[in-house]
A and B are shown apart, each in its own frame.
Chain A
């Protein structure tokens, strides 16, 4: 049980067909993505994804020769209403915690904001202190 979630970060060449290749490997390895985000520069991209069993996914991808890293992120539950992002972001800002990047997932009336911060442990404390719920790794 932990509020710190292991995200998989995957190196993807920014060339036609590369994302398809990575996706087919994910399929072969039977890895289910719950959320993902794609960041790119001109020649390469980083696929960041939250998967059900990150340890298992990480090992499978490694044996397939995919460049993959585990990165600590946190998942913040938000009401699917205007102003919900403000509450969490404001609390982190006031605690001087920097958000490096983030991506959101929303389904029906609930939304989750996955964020990478410079100090995940402290961020967990700050968010909880605001009475905001965090995703537990067992929920994924």
Chain B
């Protein structure tokens, strides 16, 4: 089953021509109208007329997350404000978050990508899809929601949390497919067990679209053998639009619709483009993006490209499961967290010294992040209540800024490790 057979099964050479046309017109338009991108191209000495085939994309300069932050909120936008129809906000590395704006067309290709993905995963009008991603500023909930509606599935926008109720609704409404983080699904399976609900017998849940955090073949096997649910890896970040791309029912990589996104994998050190099969850092170009450009964007996810034909008949390239990051970003319960954000927040709190440690563990199925901070000697009080208040104050500042609950531990000066050279402040004990 295909959602858009013409695009999904287009011969590779024909697709390259289409990609070239899209890229050429995008770059020409941006060079004329987008100050940021014009300056970036000039600094590399490249002009739109240098693009003569899709492979010439390698002549174009890279873009970085820092560029989005530096141009916060809307300096990079290339359409007038009245054409922006939605915003989403994700974590930035420090200070300001990353703002993503969407035109109607941007929402269109996002939903189109999800419609193709869901169809390839066998999800359609007969399905009831429970969306347990966060709705709101995070792209997960609304993105998957509209994708589900597009293919005619019945969407249950249940959001995150309240797990007992999620299981009850799953049973009462005959939910057949779920979209959430893999760790949340494992948590839901635990909750169901405690409630005496047998997922195989007492629910109709058969498919799970899982993403927003790294997971492994081991987790996949564990979920599938314990629950009989077929799992599909989903990929996509807010810069691209949101979660967009999934595996098909053949389960051999995530299909990337080539008319929507152009993928390259580079060696993060030498910036040299790597051939298919070689692991490196993913670089993405959104060929249809309108609100702001995303050309050769260093997304920092580690993967490799798969070009062997897929038995499903789709001609698009695929990417392997994301195996890590080429920066220090952490994903905690599906939310991106940069250690630099934590440092930035702690520096604003006068009672806190300049040493801190971040310890991440997995408690059952859910991530837990503990931030150890050294307090300044003057901040110490003989009154236990004052100390607990100080800890809560730090916790609440971090929560405000990171959008996730963290546990703070107060330490005395000198207690935390000091580093010579590059500091290793993150201890990630999770086994994924």
Contacts and interface: CB of A to CB of B under 8 A. Distances in A.
Interface in B402-422: 409-415
B384 A46 contact: yes
B377 interface: yes
Contact of B380 (A7, A41, A65, A67): A67
Contact of B413 (A9, A46, A67): A67
A105 interface: no
Interface string A35-62: 0000101011010100000000000000
Interface in B348-405: 375, 377, 380-384, 387-388
Contacts of A41: 384, 387-388
Given A41-B388, A44-B387, A13 B381 contact: no
Contacts of A67: 375, 377, 380, 412-413
B411 A44 contact: yes
A15 B417 CA distance: 15
Nearest to B388: A41
B293 to A, nearest CB: 47
A51 to B, nearest CB: 15
A9 B412 contact: no
Interface in A53-105: 65-67, 69, 71, 100
Contacts of B413: 65, 67
Contact of A100 (B383, B387, B409): B383
Contacts of A39: 384
B414 A65 contact: yes
Q: Is the interface of A mostly helix, strand, loop or mixed?
A: strand
Given A41-B387, A41-B388, A69 B410 contact: no
A92 B375 CA distance: 34
Given A13-B411, A13-B415, A71 B387 contact: no
Nearest to B408: A43
Contacts of B380: 9, 11, 67, 69
Interface string B219-248: 000000000000000000000000000000
B410 A46 contact: no
Given A41-B387, A41-B388, A69 B381 contact: yes
Contacts of A69: 380-382
Size range of the chain A interface in the assembly: 10 to 19
A46 B414 CA distance: 17
Contacts of A12: 412
A91 to B, nearest CB: 23
A63 to B, nearest CB: 12
A66 B384 CA distance: 18
Interface string A101-133: 000000000000000100000000000000000
B382 A43 contact: no
A9 B381 CA distance: 8
Contact of B409 (A11, A43, A46, A71): A43
Nearest to A39: B384
Contacts of B415: 13
B391 to A, nearest CB: 8
Interface in B252-279: none
Given A67-B377, A67-B380, A100-B383, A11 B388 contact: no
Contacts of A71: 382
A13 B412 contact: yes
A120 to B, nearest CB: 13
A43 B383 contact: no
Interface of A: 7, 9, 11-13, 39, 41, 43-44, 46, 48, 65-67, 69, 71, 100, 116
Closest 4 CB pairs of A and B: A9-B382, A43-B409, A71-B382, A67-B380
Given A9-B382, A46-B387, 4 more contacts: A7-B382, A11-B375, A69-B381, A69-B382
